[in-house]
Amino acid sequence: MGKTIPVVEKITKANDQIAAMNRTRFDEHDIFSLNLMASPGAGKTSLIEKSIPLLADRFRLGVIEGDIATSLDADRTEAAGATSVQINAASCHLDAPMVSQGLDQLDLPSLDIIIVENVGNLVCPASWDLGTHLRVLIASVPEGDDKPFKYPAMYRGVDVLVINKIDLLPYVIFDMDRFREGVEALNRGVVTFPLSCQTGEGIGAWVDWVADQTRQTATL
């Protein structure tokens, strides 16, 4: 298997070059960009759906949906009011060239925020820079409080942590202190938003943060 190493290195290097180009495109158009990662079903599409109407009066949103199959997610975010493009991941993660193709399909001068929704996976997406400004991980309460310990690369590598489905805390075994200890050991002081996409609790703080970051990006 030794032969695979140079090939993988070449691919990673090419990815990082294209990620840098994606970043330049975001910056040229004063667009704030997020790479949204999570397990399948943690609430990536739901968070985007709930955020769009709360941001739409101030900002114009674009969404790049990476999915293995169907355009279900892009249909949902488009219906919620964001220009949405679907890219066929055919893979366990998005990479920078896929995001670049997504950007080609969006009218960048007309947008303020682009959210890239990655493939549902706590492993592979952690290794691929997409060129976005920040990486956001959504953990969800029913997944259990041991996930930081078990998927450390993902928890270590993100800038923001959303803890979704806090409305389920009374019904599942989830020790918030243990979870937060696991997170802190890997990623001290990471910005964290506990919330529920179902009840709306906590969404306001998250949306305010996205709005602040978008304004800061535009004035840089």
Query: Which residues here bind a copy of itself, judged by CB under 8 A?
Result: 1, 3-4, 7, 11, 39-41, 67-70, 72-73, 91-92, 119-124, 140, 142-144, 146-147, 149-153, 165, 167-168, 171-173, 198
Q: At 67, which helix (H) or strand (E)? A: strand 61-67
- Beta carbon of residue 170, minimum distance to a copy of itself (angstroms, whole number): 9
- Beta carbon of residue 89, minimum distance to a copy of itself (angstroms, whole number): 9
- Beta carbon of residue 205, minimum distance to a copy of itself (angstroms, whole number): 22
Q: Which is nearer to a copy of itself, 164 or 217 (CB)?
A: 164
Judging by beta carbons within 10 Å of its beta carbon (0-12, 13-18, 19+), is residue 16 exposed, middle or buried? middle
Task: Output the DSSP codes for 90-149.
Answer: -SSS--HHHHHHHHHTS-GGG-SEEEEE--S-SSGGGG-----SEEEEEEEGGG-TTHHH
Q: Which is nearer to a copy of itself, 107 or 201 (CB)?
A: 201
Amino acid found at 54: L
Amino acid found at 209: W
- Beta carbon of residue 45, minimum distance to a copy of itself (angstroms, whole number): 9
